[in-house]
Structure 1
Amino acid sequence: MPHQTPPALAARLREIFAARDRAEMQLTIEAFLGVLAEHPEEPEVLYEVGGAYDTAGEEETAAGYYERAMASGLSGDALRRCLLQYGSTLRNLGRLDESVEVLERARREFPGSDSLKVWHATSLHEAGRHDAAVAILLELISDRLPSEELVRYEPALRGNAAFLAGRDARR
C-alpha cells in the first residue's frame, strides 16, 4: 500500500508552501527543516525540503532531498511532482542523460501528466534531441489545445510529431 502522509502533517506542509516568498526562500527552507526535524523519514517532508532548496537555486542540495524522498516511499501525486522537479534539477546541474531518464520513467508512471511532457521536452531539447522535444510538444498541443484553427491542422500536427519522433529515434 502506498505511503500516506498524515492529514495534519499534509495540511501543515501546504500552509508552509502557501506562505512561501520565492524572493526569500530561506524562511521557507527553515520552516520545512523544522518539520523535518520532527519527521525525519517522512517522504513528503523530504520532498518539500528539496523543493524549497530547488526554488532557492540550491540544486545539489535539492537533488539529495528528492532522492531521499523517493527512497523513503514517496508516492502518488507527490511522486509525480518530485520526479518532475528532480528531472529539472538534474538538467540544471548539466546531468542531461539522467534528467531524460528520470523524466522518461516519470512519463511511464504518470502517462497523462501534461507537465511531465513539457519538462521532458525541455530536457530533451537541452540534451540536443530537438526533434523529440518538438514532437512531444506538438502532440501535447494536439491533445490539449484544440482551437478551431488547430483542429483543422491536427492531422498535420500529429504527422509532424510522428516524423520528428521517428527522426530523433534514428539518430
Structure 2
Amino acid sequence: MKILLAFSVALALVLTACSTSSTEPATSSDPSSESSISGANVRKFPYKTRVYNECAQEFVDFEGEIQLVSNSTAVKNGDIHRLFKINIAASGVGRVTGEDYNLKENYSDNLTYDVNTRTFEGETTQRRIRVISKGSSDNFYVKFKYHITLNNDGEEVVEFRDNTSECGG
C-alpha cells in the first residue's frame, strides 16, 4: 500500500510538472490566508507559472492565486476519506502573440483508507486546465482522470485513465 501512496504523490508531482515549467507559490505568514470550512484546511498563495498553449504554439506567463484545500473525514464504517484540492485562477500574456489569457485550473485527489485493514481502498484523481483567450486565439483545454480500486488483499481490481486535450472557441 505504500506503493499506492508513493504513486499518488508522484502522480501529483508529475501532473504539476506536465503543464507548468515553473511554479512559484509564495509562503504566507499572514494568518488570514488560512481558514477552516467544515473541517477543511484552506490556504491561499500568490502563484506564478508558465504554461505551453498547444493551440497557439506559445508559452504564456501567468500570475494569480492558488487555493489549497484539504480535508479528512471518518466514514460510518470506520474508513477515512481524504480530499485534497487545488484551485488556480490567473491571468497572463502570450510570449509570441501578446494575446491576453485567463488560466483556470482545478485538481482534486480523493483517497479512501480502511483503518481496520490499514490499506488504501481506492483513489480518484481529476485535473482540468483551461487556458482561455481574451482575443481571437483558440482556447486550450486539458482533462485528466485516473481511478484505482483495490481489494482487501491490496490487489488492483479497477483501473481507469483518461487524458484529453483540445483546442476550441
Decide which structure has greater helix share: 1
Higher strand share goes to which structure? 2
TM-score (norm 2): 0.22
Give the TM-score normalised by structure 1: 0.22
